[in-house]
Structure 1
Amino acid sequence: MTLPIKCLTQPLMDAIAEQARTSPRHRKNYNFHEHSDIVQRFLNVLQPETYVRPHRHVRPEGKSGFEFFLVLQGAIGILILDGSGEVIHTEKISATGTTRGVELGEGMFHTLIALEPDTVMFELKEGPYMPIEDKDFLQTFPLENTAEAQQWIQTWMQHFQ
């Protein structure tokens, strides 16, 4: 008999980190959920070279656009932006620091940067996952895999030095 148990182990995190290192996006998700589940639960492994285009989550009435980040390994910087793209708040979240996790409320524009290689986060948010509706991007920021995107990583990194 197979029990409905999924374990989060160091070998799993190491394997996903290896995939993130070789990914063109320099990050990799590992889902514990199915896309149709009402709760999304996943690992997000980021490398310092990854660019997360600033975005927010807005859900239909009766749903919540919150997002919860818990750092299990490494450290990330979260930048909260206003509607014009200006940084209005930053948080450093670290597996060994005083702040280990953060919940962002619905509608908050944000981006993430990995402050250490092989940073592993556990993310939790309401589902189901709808790729077209999941993110509302700040249009003033570049798409992934562009030289301009890499410049933004360097700019944002300065907030955490």
Structure 2
Amino acid sequence: MKVFDQSELANLNQAAAESPRRRSNLNWHKDYTAAVQRLFISMQPDSYVRPHKHVEANKWECFVVLQGTLLFVTYKPDGSILDKICLGPEQTASVVEIPPGVWHSTVALQANTTFFEIKEGPYTPINDKGFASWAPEEGSPEAQDYIQWLIDAKVTECWSRAD
């Protein structure tokens, strides 16, 4: 039996706060070949998750937000925002399931936002994600601007690169 207790949560949050990517995960599956991938993820508000879609037809995901508030954003193929929803224990929803092929990204709106992710395995890094060409790359100077834009942007708006 496995138990994710408050000390595990505190350790995960600390690891996220100390990570250059400002997020950390704790895998609960045995290895990357497991048929079901299960992991806890803690994110800080300045962690950038580049919009992406899972290109394999069977690669759905489910997020269950345990702590904090996670802004979940979906996009049209051109990069315009299709929908935005705040997920968390204090929100009207705390769970989302993402079908394969849906452009999406997340932003932690509170420190130590933590969620449990479940997805079909096995995990294959080479073809796991298709990153959006219309959004900044992770680590780029525009990434933090993009996070703020996502928080403020309205549905139907599209990111405009600063030139």
The answer to whether residue 32 in structure 2 is matched with residue 35 in structure 1 is: yes
The equivalent position to 2:68 in structure 1, one of 74, 90, 93, is 74
Q: What corresponds to 2:157 in structure 1?
A: none
The answer to whether residue 22 in structure 2 is matched with residue 26 in structure 1 is: yes
Matches within 5 A, 1:82-121: 82-121=76-115
Question: Do the aligned residues in 2 keep the contact of 1:28 with 1:44 (CA within 8 Å)?
Answer: yes
The worse-fitting range, judged by mean Cα deviation, of 140-149 and 46-55 is 140-149
Q: What corresponds to 2:158 in structure 1?
A: none
Structure 2: gaps spanning 5 or more residues: 155-163
Q: What corresponds to 2:9 in structure 1?
A: 13
Q: Take 1:50 and 1:20, find their aligned partners in 2: how far apart are those partners?
A: 9
Runs of 4 or more, structure 1, over 6 Å off, are: none
Give the letter aligned to residue 137 of structure 1: F
Give the letter aligned to residue 42 of structure 1: L
Q: What corresponds to 2:159 in structure 1?
A: none
Determine helix, strand or coil for the equivalent of 2:8: helix
The worse-fitting range, judged by mean Cα deviation, of 126-135 and 92-101 is 92-101
Equivalent pairs counted in the alignment come to 153
Deviation at 1:12, TM superposition (A): 0.4
CA RMSD of aligned residues (A): 1.2
Give the letter aligned to residue 44 of structure 1: I
Question: Do the aligned residues in 2 keep the contact of 1:90 with 1:159 (CA within 8 Å)?
Answer: no
Give the letter aligned to residue 118 of structure 2: L
Give the letter aligned to residue 32 of structure 2: H
Structure 1: gaps spanning 5 or more residues: none
Determine helix, strand or coil for the equivalent of 2:73: strand
Q: Take 2:71 and 2:46, find their aligned partners in 1: how far apart are those partners?
A: 13
Deviation per CA, 1:100-137, whole angstroms, max 9, x where unpaired? 11111110000000010000000000000111111011
Question: Do the aligned residues in 2 keep the contact of 1:28 with 1:45 (CA within 8 Å)?
Answer: yes
Determine helix, strand or coil for the equivalent of 1:155: helix
